[in-house]
Every structure is written in structure tokens, then in C-alpha cells.
Amino acid sequence: MEKVKVQLGRMKSLGEDAGREEVDPEAEMPCASPVSPSRVTTAAGTDAPGSSSVCKQRGKRGGKHPCGRPSQGAAVPARNLNDPICEQTLHVKGTGRILQGKPESNGNCASRSAQETRCEDGPKVPRRRRPVTVDTAKAKTSLEALKLSIKELRWKEFPLGRRAACDIYWHGVSFHDNENIVSGQVNKLPGMVEMLRKINLSRAVRTMQELFPEEYDFYPRSWILPEEYQQFSTQTRLAKESDAAVSPTFIVKPDGGSQGDGIYLIRDPGDLKLMAGAQPRQAVVQEYIHKPLLIDRLKFDIRLYVLIKSLDPLEIYIAKEGLTRFCTEPYQEPSQKNLSHVFMHLTNYSLNVHSGNFVHSDSQSTGSKRTLSSVLYRLAAKGVDIKRVWSDIIALVIKSVIAVVPELKVYHQADIPPGKPGPTCFQILGFDILLMKNLKPVLLEVNSNPSMRIEHEQEVAPGVFEYVPSPVDEQVKVGVIRDTLRLMDPFNRKATAILQPRAGGADHGEENPVVGESQGVCPDNAGNLPPLCLKQVYPKYTKQFNHLRLVERIAALFIRFLGVKGNMRLGPTAFRTFIRTCKLSNSNFTMASVDILYIDITRRWSCALPDSREAGMGLQAFVEAFFYLAGRRFKSLTLREQVGSLLDLCEASLGPQSGVEDRRSLSCSRALPRPVKTQTLCLSNPQLSSPAAQRRATSQDCRLHQRLKPRALRANVEN
């Protein structure tokens, strides 16, 4: 009963004015030029190939927005991802930098300085550097916006790929879209697709909620199905029994779903659709936010673009301009009568575009899709403290990223182990955020493949749909892609240097907290291009958020004991080694108890993650074991203090290499025995013997599966 009260408290908490985050009340706002922000002028204008209308015939409401659908990807960086590629390029001759068997052959840079040459009898004169090369062959639905961006930057596009290495590879789905890239930069982090699936994101946030309940109150209370059905059902029943006035609504979201597919609202656990044929449905059931902020009586949500420029060290940028997507039926609080009104409750563009009420508009401040700045401007005009809102949004983004980084680091070391030359990775994410009536932002989900389409679907005659250019999308999305490229420009060393966090990073909080300023312009391009629309928020706000990075420290320990390159699971021997090395066993907690703990937790997690092909203890299970050990050791403290104290103890036993931003220790990992595979490993194909290869195979299987079942896809998601 006590537990139920806590749950109820949490259910309520999102409806109340929770304590606000202290980020930066002065943060540079998205509405610098609210109603008519300078439109991105592109050299390419509207004549970009493929931007012309594409006609297609189909039923009015039956179809889906034909985005390219994503699939499974992989994970994250353990090496410094920010080394200017120019340096790599200059080393090409020495290192034989090779991509897919072919040496770099792109002209000037490999054989001499990219930036200058010496005239016969004169001083050094600046030489035009070769253009940055971008492989766009796998860009899918981002292609049009990417082409415009490349044109603006006067870089060189390779639409069919290239035998020699490119500086940047633009993938439409996951890190694994191209295999065998060993240099340059890829716009996807290994593991991001997996980590941002609804169940995994919920789990990652929940771990943070256990440690920092007040700081992670921006995510609605969620239960994972089918495994938590009993808890969900008992808790809601008891909640109703204890207070008849409580009648919460819940939203059910299929794990792999996107664009509103398969989503429905319920008020009673008995209405859950638990099975899909003979299979239990994997889904998240979540507290429904029933008092959203409305504009023109319509519910809307915010799509915010966030760049993870680097995972290690962590660098996060937020786009100052985003999109807002409006429902097309006036909002009413959920009741049994209106639960199925998707145009009232779901803000997905892909659904609402098929409503007769959808308003296409070339203006940024009207219609069913508007710029974020126009909405904030409108709120400001009504007296809303939009600086506060923006600051809360920044805090939400940083905290969400911090929640998923630990697991991303595990993926990264598996796919790009230390010692492998590269590539380095970055990624644009799409955050979907709802503003509550009390202006508190709530995280709905994070898309690993946000749609970068700059056309929209329009019904030009009954049943006839066309893709027509969408100025609002173009303004926002081309800006995001172009400025991401500018930040990743391998030759722009000045910009890179300016953008690099200072060592330690902790003093950033003392600067003027306005986002932007010193890091706002890439010097090389400053003359021709607008100021960057992407603003660094981390490490800028290290001081305010660094204390949240506890699980990353656990992940650093985990990675250190993983043992085998490419592995993501800890075997029983490695777990024992961890316990021994960190001196965590004693007469009260014998090695026999350690083995039981390992078996117990690993078995439970292998049931919770039925798809996983690798046996052993994954990071989430290790974190659970770590919490347990911390609780045993430091009984009288809070969980956060227990975990912090145990981390200090372990790190002291291991020496200096286990800090958050540290690399995995090669010597340590190699010294460890290969984890014993005790469970469901059903692989006879020797080519799939390495865990990384197995994951890639899974990823490919999944893509095939997704081609066959397009509605289950999670691709370039406009929502």
C-alpha cells in the first residue's frame, strides 16, 4: 500500500508545478526573430534535384507518409570523436588510410598541405583547400536537405558513394548502413536506434529516476509490457480504490512503433491489447498527460533537433529553431467518449496530415506545422516566461542524453574498439516534447532518425497526393543539417578549437549562461553563412549536470571488465574478477553469493530482453547488481549516495582510468578471460562468431523484416 501511494504521488507529480531546473534564464531563445526569421537562402534554391512534385494516387486516409523506414543500428564512441579530420588526412601517406580497400586519392590534401603551398620564389600563399567530401549514397529521405546544405557550403557530394574515403558519410538509418568505414565521420552513433526504442529509453530514464527522482520528473510514469503488466494493473486498481476521484488515462505505445502507429488510449488495464497473434506485444504503457498547453484550443508538440557532436567527451548542441506539430481537432480532456479521437490526442504530423482540417501553410506562424520560434513568440506575447520554458527544455535534453550515454558507450566500444582507427561519429536526434498547461516540458520520445524531409504530402485532388516543397521544413531542417556539417567540418580547425570544451569543463557554468556567443560562428564560413543555429549546451552547462553522470561511471567499470573486443555482455568470470579486483567480497558476501547474484540477475534480464543474441550480463543488469551491492555496503545512505560511495571505492581500487570520460583500459580488458556463454547463443555460423558481427546480422535481419512489415518500422520519423 505504501508503494502504491508513492506511485500515485508520481502520477500526480507531472500535473503539478515541479521544481524548475537552473540552466540559464538568459539562454538565447529560438525566437530571436520570431515571426519572420531570416529564411535560409540557398544557392540551390528550389531547383534541387528531386524537389519537384511527385504525383501518386492512393486512398485518402489509408496510406502512410512514405518515409524511408529505419531499422536497427548500433552504438557509441569510446575514442575522441573530435579529432579534426584534416589531421587524419595529412597523415594519409604515412598511415595508408584506406576505405574499402582503396587509398585516399582526393587530390590536394594527401600529398601536401591542404591549406597552403610555396610559390617558386615567393612567400607562402594561401591555397584553396580541397572541398570536404560527403558520401550521400545512403542518405535516404534526408537527401534533399543534405544536397542543399552541401551546396551552400560548397562541399563535394558523392551521391553514388566513392571508392576512396570520404570525409563524411551520411547515413539514413544507422551506423551500419555502410560497412567497413575506417576513417572520416559518420552521422550515426552505434546503438542509437536500439537505445531510443520506447522500452529502452523508458528503462534508461527509469534508472535515472531511481537515482535522481526530482531531476527526472519530466518523463511520464511508464510500465514496460508484457513484463510489468501485473504491477501496472495492481497499481492502477489500488490507486482507484484509494481515491475514487482518481481516474487516470494511459497511452499505450508499441515498442518499435513510430508516427503514431498502433498507439491507443485506455482508462482500464483490462483494455490493454496484450497479444499480437500468438506473441506478447512489446509496448510501453504510459501516464497520459491530460492537461497539455493549448494554442487555438489545439494540442501541439515540439520537435527539437539535438546534435550529439561527440560522445566522449560529451558534446551536445540544440537547434534554436524547431517545429511544432498541431492536432487538427479541438482538445478535450480524455473521456471514455473521445479516447479514440486521434486527431484530438495525437500530434503526429503523419496522422493529422490526413485529417480534413489539416492546414498547409507557407507561413511559419500559421497552419498545422509551425516553427517553434513563432509559437514561443506568441506565448511571449501572452506574458509567458519563455526564457524559463527554454531553460527547462535545455535541461530536459541534457538529462535525457545523459540517461542514454552509458549504454551508447558500451555499443561504441563494441563496434569501434579502442585501437581501431575510426570512424568518429555524431548524430542528430529529434526530441518530441509536450508542454503542459503549467508550461512544464515533458519528454514524449526521442527519434534516432528524425525526418529531414523538406517536402510535404498534399492532396491536390480527391485521392491524389503530391509532394510539394515545404518552406517551414526547409528553413528548419536545412539549417540543422548545414550547421551540423559546419560543426563537423574536418578542416575548420579554428572552429573546432573554439568549440572544444575547456579541460575539466566545470567552469563553463560561470560564463554568461547565454547559449551561443563565443561558440556561435564558424570562422571559416562566417562571411557567407548565417550564424550557427546550433548552440552548445554541454559541456557548457557541465557544472549543473555533471553530477548526474553516475551511471556512466558504472558503465566505465563495466566496459573495463568486458574483456573481449566487440562484446557487450559480462560473463560470470569477468563479474567475479570485478568483485575481486574491487574488493567487494568478504565473509558476509562470499564468492558463492556473487555467483548466485550473477545468475539471478542475468537470468531475469535475459527474459526481459528476449531478442538479445549475446549471453551474459548486459549493462542494465550490471547496474542493477551494482545498486544491490551499493545497498548492501552502505545501508544507511540514500541510493544515490550508496552508488556514489561504491563507485568511489571501486575507482580507488582500480586506479585512475575509470573516470567518466576515460577510455577503456586495453591491458586490463585483454587480461580478462573470455566470458562464458551460458545461455541462448544459437549461432553456428562462424562468420557471426564476433558479437559485433552478430549485431550487424541482427540489424540486417531487422531491416529485411521491416521491409516486409513497413508499419512496424521506425524510420525517418516526422511524427
Strand pairing category for 314-319 and 298-311? antiparallel
Residue among 263, 554, 619, 621 that touches ligand ADP (CB under 6 A) = 263
CA 369, 372, 377 angle in degrees (round to 5)?
A: 115
Residue among 188, 253, 399, 569 that touches ligand ADP (CB under 6 A) = 253
Dmax (CA) for the chain in angstroms is: 91
67 binds ligand ADP (CB under 6 A): no
719 binds ligand ADP (CB under 6 A): yes
Q: Considering the complex, what minimum distance in angstroms separates the CB of residue 388 from ligand ADP?
A: 21
Q: Which stretch binds ligand ADP (CB under 6 A): 28-36, 145-153, 256-264, 650-658?
A: 256-264
Q: Considering the complex, what minimum distance in angstroms separates the CB of residue 681 from ligand ADP?
A: 32
Q: Considering the complex, what minimum distance in angstroms separates the CB of residue 107 from ligand ADP?
A: 44
Q: Which stretch binds ligand ADP (CB under 6 A): 67-75, 254-262, 383-391, 698-706?
A: 254-262
In the complex with ligand ADP, which residue's Cβ is closer, 260 or 539?
260
Q: Considering the complex, what minimum distance in angstroms separates the CB of residue 443 from ligand ADP?
A: 9
27 binds ligand ADP (CB under 6 A): no
Q: Considering the complex, what minimum distance in angstroms separates the CB of residue 707 from ligand ADP?
A: 19
- Rounded-to-integer distance, Cα 253 and Cα 458, Å: 27
Q: Check if the beta carbon of residue 73 is closer than 8 Å to that of residue 194.
A: yes
- Rounded-to-integer distance, Cα 200 and Cα 192, Å: 10
Task: Compute the Cα dihedral for 364, 367, 371, 372 and give only its sign.
Answer: positive
Residue 543 sits at φ, ψ, to 5 deg, of: -60, -40
In the complex with ligand ADP, which residue's Cβ is closer, 253 or 695?
253
Cα separation values, 572 from 96, 395, 554, 569, Å:
40, 38, 17, 10
Task: Pull the grid cell for residue 506.
Answer: 566545470
- Rounded-to-integer distance, Cα 420 and Cα 466, Å: 46
302 binds ligand ADP (CB under 6 A): no
Q: Considering the complex, what minimum distance in angstroms separates the CB of residue 709 from ligand ADP?
A: 15
Q: Considering the complex, what minimum distance in angstroms separates the CB of residue 308 from ligand ADP?
A: 19
Where on the phi/psi map is residue 511: left (φ > 0), alpha (ψ -120 to 50), or beta? Answer: beta
Report helix, strand or coil for 532. coil
In the complex with ligand ADP, which residue's Cβ is closer, 580 or 709?
709
Residue among 444, 454, 643, 702 that touches ligand ADP (CB under 6 A) = 444
In the complex with ligand ADP, which residue's Cβ is closer, 236 or 286?
286
Residue among 177, 194, 392, 445 that touches ligand ADP (CB under 6 A) = 445
Q: Which stretch binds ligand ADP (CB under 6 A): 1-9, 157-165, 343-351, 484-492?
A: 343-351
432 binds ligand ADP (CB under 6 A): yes
257 binds ligand ADP (CB under 6 A): yes
CA dihedral of 371, 374, 379, 385, whole degrees rounded to 10:
80
Task: Compute the Cα dihedral for 560, 564, 566, 569 and give only its sign.
Answer: negative
301 binds ligand ADP (CB under 6 A): yes
Q: Considering the complex, what minimum distance in angstroms separates the CB of residue 196 from ligand ADP?
A: 10
Q: Considering the complex, what minimum distance in angstroms separates the CB of residue 19 from ligand ADP?
A: 20
Cα separation values, 514 from 23, 26, 487, 509, 519, Å:
10, 5, 19, 10, 11
- Rounded-to-integer distance, Cα 20 and Cα 24, Å: 11
In the complex with ligand ADP, which residue's Cβ is closer, 322 or 423?
322
Q: Where are the alpha helices (DSSP H) in 522-614?
A: 542-545, 550-562, 572-581, 591-608
> Cis peptide leading into 49, omega within 30 of 0?
no
712 binds ligand ADP (CB under 6 A): no
70 binds ligand ADP (CB under 6 A): no
Residue among 30, 260, 406, 513 that touches ligand ADP (CB under 6 A) = 260
Residue among 205, 224, 346, 692 that touches ligand ADP (CB under 6 A) = 346
Residue 534 sits at φ, ψ, to 5 deg, of: -100, 130
624 binds ligand ADP (CB under 6 A): no
Q: Which helix (H) or strand (E) holds 479?
A: helix 471-488
Number of residues that bind ligand ADP (CB under 6 A): 21
220 binds ligand ADP (CB under 6 A): yes
Cα separation values, 142 from 51, 616, 702, Å:
12, 38, 21
Q: Which stretch binds ligand ADP (CB under 6 A): 116-124, 253-261, 450-458, 692-700?
A: 253-261
288 binds ligand ADP (CB under 6 A): yes
Residue among 7, 259, 324, 368 that touches ligand ADP (CB under 6 A) = 259
Residue among 286, 391, 424, 642 that touches ligand ADP (CB under 6 A) = 286
Q: Check if the beta carbon of residue 71 is closer than 8 Å to that of residue 699.
A: yes
Q: Which stretch binds ligand ADP (CB under 6 A): 114-122, 138-146, 345-353, 643-651?
A: 345-353
217 binds ligand ADP (CB under 6 A): no
- Rounded-to-integer distance, Cα 185 and Cα 534, Å: 19
Please list, in sequence order, all residues whose beta carbon lies within 8 angstroms of the beta carbon of residue 496, skipping any fewer than 6 positions away.
Answer: 82, 84, 489
Residue among 23, 146, 289, 643 that touches ligand ADP (CB under 6 A) = 289
In the complex with ligand ADP, which residue's Cβ is closer, 436 or 647?
436
- DSSP 8-state symbol, 436: B
**Per-residue H/E/C for 634-665:** CCCCCHHHHHHHHHHHHHHHHCHHHCCCCCCC
Q: Which helix (H) or strand (E) holds 210?
A: helix 198-211
In the complex with ligand ADP, which residue's Cβ is closer, 447 or 699?
447
Q: Tell me the one-letter amino acid at 35.
A: V
133 binds ligand ADP (CB under 6 A): no
716 binds ligand ADP (CB under 6 A): no
Residue 117 sits at φ, ψ, to 5 deg, of: -145, 165
Task: Pull the grid cell for residue 204.
Answer: 534508461
Q: Which stretch binds ligand ADP (CB under 6 A): 249-257, 358-366, 379-387, 544-552?
A: 249-257
Q: Which residues bind ligand ADP (CB under 6 A)?
A: 220, 251, 253, 257-261, 263, 286, 288-289, 301, 346-348, 432, 434, 444-445, 719
